[in-house]
Chain A
């Protein structure tokens, strides 16, 4: 199995935690991993993205070629659309529906949904609503990850084990909440 994944969002939205969980899950399955992250200037409320590659075979490049990504996971709809050229034909987009508006010229969000839907395989997740309804406002990113599980080719059980390992130090409650978030996400199809 091989998945080339673009993770996107706005600085501070927690895309690196998503990457950490996927990376841990892949490593435990004995897969190869490369993940190019963004640190520095771009974190200050600017757009951020990360290239994550997992594969049963050796991986050469740290970056994913244009038109080669199997999947875009985005914490924000416009940030999902930004990486449209990266997506391969038939690839998937899993994105949170809620716009993060910190610029004066943020486009009409309906237009963004419409363009996303035109791309084809899109899952628009109302992750913030789900998080609010279930009192887990800090787990929006895990809801999204749950929704992406199928497209990732990693099952919720495998991802939950990684959540337990990574968040273990933060206590049982945090782990349980994030596992629950994964499950809620996985129900969004």
Chain B
């Protein structure tokens, strides 16, 4: 039965996928994508259908498992934040080469303005790079509908489809009308065509030719797509191309415009004919796109120079940061709304580690060692709640680059001659991408001290299960760590002397050591207590 529901963009994607007959979601948490998988984990329909929804160790394992499910004939969804695309780039790009059997939709959630990320990369480049179709919704209703179309398209073209969203789509709610019927899941139907899946050069060359030959058809599909719509009033000579969510910011302002000629792009590769036709009607085209100047750059290479192309590159819109109704308004040539200046009394309120968090005691101990013993120590950080140790009052970190980089950067610095190098990494980040780097360090017995700050959860993204729970000592020893240089401590203020001593001794040791401060995240602990009390 068709229903109206107030849904978060992420939830609309999840529900759309379930209604499209999803058999498995494969994902690693990451803002703003996390709620897609969480929705499926709690969905009665998913439970009834036994849809796979357990968290994966990282985005690469997620992408590969989805490809396996597709090989077996079923529909799979892969979800991640934009930087996760870097981690799964190898299987993602090569899934364009193998193609799919059951439909595969990959959701990449970009974070323009970096609300909770380390960069602003635009996942549409990955879609183009892998030469596969990409969808980009403007509304939550689009998101719900597009996932379903994406699965259909994926199976008809035998290609994976990328769905790109941004924070303001993923984390914004609106009313969505759902389908009246729900599609069944696919039956088990493994691919019999090994040449599709064995990317030995002899097969891969053929697949590459096929994928390349398919490209004109993908452009044609975009030209005909119901998602790429034209919206025109009057006979203006100023064209506007608005992609995905940026279309909303344009539409927010059109009431104040006499005439307009808008092309909304929500399916890629570019609808080339629609763009050429706009170019023949217009003197200029303003490209409004959230993220990087992906479309604008392509137009500069495609259209005659008599037409002025405006956008982020030309300076009509800010080069970086997310779009909003205000900067789009100015780019459309309208006067900014009247508004007050910010108050000078207001000060910043940066996020901080919770009071009572175990990471706090770890940093207190590290800072004791640096202050009292080895001021030359450098601390290589990683990604998680504990990255906040970079800010006052701790100011303890020298680096934070990508998941897993703490261990490998500490090793590289030690290789270069840095005497006292500490790597600090969370439990979930360690299993995501730290284990392989630790093996490198163990194999060379690098003189670094690795601290796996274990709070038994993936806290930063809201407390998801951590893949290596209860296995950290076994993992380190299994990789070949010397048992005498593995320590577990409890990060509480009362244990400060002990923790400080252990860190000092291991920094003095000219080889590899691992220290595991272990105490449950106080957020997950207090949620557990509340649940217990409610019983």
Contact of B385 among A36, A44, A61 (CB under 8 A): A44
Contact of A60 among B8, B251, B354 (CB under 8 A): B251
Interface bits B304-327 vs A (CB < 8 Å: 1, else 0) = 000000000000000000001110
Assess the B171–A37 pair: CB atoms within 8 A: yes
Assess the A38–B115 pair: CB atoms within 8 A: yes
Known: A34-B172, A62-B245. A39 touches B32 (CB 8 A): yes
Residues on A with C-beta less than 8 A from B249 are 60-61, 63
Residue A87 is within 8 A (CB to CB) of chain B in the complex: yes
Assess the A84–B245 pair: CB atoms within 8 A: no
Assess the A65–B325 pair: CB atoms within 8 A: yes
Assess the A105–B248 pair: CB atoms within 8 A: no
Interface bits A84-101 vs B (CB < 8 Å: 1, else 0) = 111111000000000000
Contact of A81 among B248, B338, B346, B353 (CB under 8 A): B346
| Most chain A C-beta atoms within 10 Å of own C-beta, residue among B6, B171, B252, B346 | B346
CB < 8 Å A-B pair total: 147
Known: A32-B175, A37-B173, A105-B347. A61 touches B342 (CB 8 A): no
Interface of A is mostly: mixed
Q: Tell me which residues from 157 to 216 in chain B have a Cβ below 8 Å from any Cβ of chain A.
A: 168-169, 171-175
Residues on A with C-beta less than 8 A from B338 are 67, 89
Assess the B325–A64 pair: CB atoms within 8 A: yes
Known: A46-B350, A60-B248. A40 touches B175 (CB 8 A): no
Residues on B with C-beta less than 8 A from A84 are 340-343
Interface of B is mostly: loop
Residues on A with C-beta less than 8 A from B154 are none
Known: A45-B354, A67-B337, A111-B345. A39 touches B324 (CB 8 A): no
Residue of A nearest to B4 (CB): A27
In the docked arrangement, what's the CA distance between A88 and B337, Å? 9
In the docked arrangement, what's the CA distance between A64 and B385, Å? 30
Known: A33-B175, A40-B115, A68-B337. A61 touches B325 (CB 8 A): yes
**Which 7 interchain pairs have the tightest Cβ spacing?**
A67-B339, A41-B116, A40-B31, A40-B116, A46-B351, A60-B251, A61-B252
**Besides the known contacts A34-B172, A44-B353, A87-B339, 15 further A-B residue pairs in the complex with CB atoms under 8 A apart:** A23-B6, A33-B174, A38-B171, A39-B171, A44-B351, A44-B354, A46-B350, A61-B251, A62-B245, A63-B249, A65-B325, A65-B337, A105-B347, A106-B347, A115-B345
B residues apposed to A, CB below 8 Å: 4, 6, 8, 31-32, 34-35, 115-116, 168-169, 171-175, 245, 248-249, 251-252, 324-326, 329, 336-343, 345-354, 385, 388, 460-462
